[in-house]
């Protein structure tokens, strides 16, 4: 299974995070989401979003002004072990 990808380039805050949040709601726990963004503020936004939501920001990088965020989907709220 590969990563789902969201191309949020050229969107301003908070759109990249909102699109990621929507996608993560429909993903299984442990699935990966790759988000591409160009807004420099998205680094802080995704760190905060993952910390608050419980999703794991596995990695992020920047190449030629494009930020790539790899996020692992958390267990849904209220899920039992």
Q: Which residues are catalytic?
A: 13
Q: What is the largest CA-CA distance in the chain?
A: 42
Neighbours of 63 (CB within 10 A): 7
CA distance 16 to 7: 8
């Amino acid at each position: 299974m590969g990563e789902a990808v969201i191309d949020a380039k050229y969107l301003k805050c908070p759109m990249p995070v909102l699109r990621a949040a929507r996608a993560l709601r429909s993903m299984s726990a442990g699935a990966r989401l790759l988000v591409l963004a160009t807004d420099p503020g998205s680094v802080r936004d995704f760190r905060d979003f993952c910390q608050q939501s419980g999703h794991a920001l596995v990695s992020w990088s920047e190449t030629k002004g494009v930020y790539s965020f790899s996020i692992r989907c958390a267990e849904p709220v209220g899920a039992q072990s």
